[in-house]
Amino acid sequence: MYDVIIVGCGITGAAAAFALSRYKLSVLVLEKENDIAIGATRANSAIIHAGYDPEPGTLMARLNVRGCEMAAELCAQLDVPYKNCGSLVLAFDDNDVKSIRALYERGVQNGVKRLELIDSRRLRELEPCVSDKAVAALYAPTSGIVNPWEYALAMAEVAALNGVKFLLSHPVTYITGQLGGFTVTSCGEQFNARYVVNAAGVDSAAVHEMVAEKAFTIKPSRGDYFLLDKSEGSRAKHTLFQCPGPAGKGVLVSPTVHGNLLAGPNAVSCLDAHRVNTTAEGLAFVKTHALKSVPGINFRDTIRSFAGMRANSDRNDFIIGFPVPGFLDLAGIKSPGLTCAPATGEYAAGLLEQHGLELVKKDSPVTARRKIRFKELSIPEKQRLISENPLYGRVICRCETITEGEIVEACHSPIPPVSVDGIKRRAGTGMGRCQGGFCGPRVLEILCRERGISPLEALKDGEGSVILFNETKAGGRA
Ligand SMILES: Cc1cc2nc3c(=O)[nH]c(=O)nc-3n(C[C@H](O)[C@H](O)[C@H](O)COP(=O)(O)OP(=O)(O)OC[C@H]3O[C@@H](n4cnc5c(N)ncnc54)[C@H](O)[C@@H]3O)c2cc1C
């Protein structure tokens, strides 16, 4: 019998596991996909929002401000790329000026620190590439950017080091029981727990309905993005928003922690929450709106386009609570769920304690993580590392200068990757201009060697994404 089973491991599930892993508890995480953080957590704007957007008094507002406050220190502790770049909401006309004033008031009510309304002269000092049609802005210096999937991975890895068990490729299909505990079915196996936490993102309503009456609806909304080469990375120093509308925070232009430029997202309601393809119309919309903020962006330097799916719901807030005793929903975690995550994890642990889970601190839990990032080392450090382990002397990903040593380290990390993209998310291979065109086959080779599998079994990303195919074996052409 586990104390807690967490269903789903995006950043919300990872943060809950991280928070609970400090206590003397047995915790199991069941994730449907073959890696963690490959739902909304891997495809979003990567912004640590300051907290002026959510409606005052909502849980979302509270967790947003707390999550933003936690981000810098937690990212340093977990060795996760984070930059406190600040954000600007641009106003282009009188209506927009009214909107940024309203956002300012909201921010003050939500407890956001150091917010400022600034005029066009100050705006241009802060952000020289911004459109000359922008007349004013709301400046939020506490906002930042992060590597979202690494944030989740880091929390999950530390949780794993503290004894939390992770089972990937384990979709939860059935949950029974209530008082005295639950039986959770996945892949034909049954797991028992006293408490269950539902962190299933766009599927959180389906998981909720395994144990309780329907209470809310997830209304998935897709957002398309352009990721531009580092040659465009200096177009924006801050995250540049436009005024939010009914469909969300609007199209932004932002630097990324890797030095690229990000433009997006639009917002398109979708019936199928799992179809995360971009569309030509969606990308055209993003381009037009991004150019309104920063007219000089050269979209010919796009290195990737992608889409993410928001777990919007029919509520104006996150859906966090116990629909039946012992079963905690962390549902409808829409934007700013990434920012909120560490605060949501803490809050979830507190709620479980209020509902009878005993939280006894471990004597010395792991709280930090360190990674070798070869390209960031000094020359003497590089030399010392290579002399200790020559694999650090072999650069595999030329665009990002990622060595074989880092890839091997990723292969044996606490939650080991099973795909080429799993290595990308841990080591950063294939993140550069060639997007894995050059290093992909070498990464595949190392993955197969380290996992002891045949190249025919190696996956690009999710289940079924085999890269190599033996036509002779399959009965096709020899
Ligand atoms: C376009 C877009 C832009 C965004 N921008 C920002 C931003 O800039 N800043 C910000 O703070 N937030 C942003 N967000 C919101 C943020 O990304 C999400 O709130 C956050 O990632 C949600 O994390 P999650 O863990 O709740 O969901 P997910 O990351 O979707 O994880 C849910 C997990 O549950 C698993 N699962 C589902 N069903 C089952 C099952 N039956 N059994 C087992 N596992 C299951 C899934 O496979 C998945 O891994 C954005 C979101 C989108 C889509």
472 vs 40, more confident: 40
The answer to whether the beta carbons of residues 423 and 400 sit under 8 Å apart is: no
- Ligand 1 geometric centre to CA of 233 (Å): 26
Atom of ligand 1 at shortest range from CA of 264: 1
Q: Which of 149, 203, 227 to mutate to test the pocket of ligand 1 (most atoms within 8 A of CB)?
A: 203
**pLDDT tens digit string along 104-142?**
999 999 999 999 999 999 999 999 999 999 999 999 999
Nearest CA to ligand 1 atom 33: 8
Q: Which residues of 78-100 are buried (b: 16+ CB within 10 A; e: fewer)?
A: bebbbbebbbbbbbbeeebbebb
For the beta carbon of residue 150, count every other beta carbon within 10 angstroms: 23
Exposed / middle / buried, residue 391 (Cβ in 10 Å: 0-12, 13-18, 19+): middle
What is the predicted pLDDT for the residue at 249?
79
Nearest 5°: CA angle at 434, between 430 and 435? 35
What is the predicted pLDDT for the residue at 472?
73
- Ligand 1 geometric centre to CA of 452 (Å): 32
What is the predicted pLDDT for the residue at 246?
75
Rounded to an integer, what is the distance from CA 101 to the centroid of its chain? 30
Atom of ligand 1 at shortest range from CA of 13: 25
Beta strands (DSSP E) in 141-274 are: 144-146, 165-167, 172-176, 182-186, 189-198, 221-228, 239-241, 252-255, 261-264, 268-269
What is the predicted pLDDT for the residue at 471?
77
Q: Does domain 87-141+219-310 have CATH number 3.30.9.10?
A: yes
Here the tokens at position 364 are 């010395």
Rg (the chain; Cα; Å): 23
> pLDDT at residue 390 above 80?
yes
Nearest CA to ligand 1 atom 3: 44
Task: Give me the CATH code for the 374-457 domain, please.
Answer: 1.10.10
What is the predicted pLDDT for the residue at 470?
83
Here the tokens at position 363 are 């004597």
> pLDDT at residue 443 above 60?
yes
Half-sphere exposure of 434 (CA within 13 A, CB side): 14
What is the predicted pLDDT for the residue at 478?
41
* Percent of the chain residues topping a pLDDT of 70: 98
The answer to whether the beta carbons of residues 418 and 458 sit under 8 Å apart is: no
What is the predicted pLDDT for the residue at 245?
79
Q: Which residues of 19-36 are buried (b: 16+ CB within 10 A; e: fewer)?
A: bbbbbebebbbbbbbbbb
Residues 6+ apart with CB under 8 A from 350: none
**pLDDT tens digit string along 48-63?**
999 999 999 999 999 9
Task: Give me the CATH code for the 1-81+144-216+313-370 domain, please.
Answer: 3.50.50.60
- Ligand 1 geometric centre to CA of 38 (Å): 8
The residues carrying an active-site annotation are 49
- Ligand 1 geometric centre to CA of 121 (Å): 38
- Alpha-carbon torsion (298, 303, 305, 310), positive or negative: negative
- Ligand 1 geometric centre to CA of 302 (Å): 25
> pLDDT at residue 361 above 90?
yes
**pLDDT tens digit string along 155-206?**
999 999 999 999 999 999 999 986 679 999 999 999 999 999 999 999 999 9
Paired residues of 182 in beta bridges: 193
Residue 99, Ramachandran bin (φ over 0: left; ψ between -120 and 50: alpha; else beta): alpha
What is the predicted pLDDT for the residue at 178?
66
What is the predicted pLDDT for the residue at 170?
98
Pocket of ligand 1 (CB under 6 A): 7-13, 30-33, 38-41, 44-47, 49, 171-172, 199-203, 207, 223, 265, 308-310, 333-339
Domain ranges of the chain: 1-81+144-216+313-370, 87-141+219-310, 374-457
Nearest CA to ligand 1 atom 9: 47
The answer to whether the beta carbons of residues 37 and 14 sit under 8 Å apart is: yes
Helical pair 59-78 and 148-161, crossing angle rounded to 10 deg: 70
**pLDDT tens digit string along 241-250?**
999 877 677 8
Of 3, 34, 48, nearest to 21 (Cα)? Answer: 3
Antiparallel, parallel or unpaired: β 189-198 and 182-186: antiparallel
The answer to whether the beta carbons of residues 353 and 194 sit under 8 Å apart is: no
The answer to whether the beta carbons of residues 199 and 10 sit under 8 Å apart is: yes
The answer to whether the beta carbons of residues 3 and 195 sit under 8 Å apart is: yes
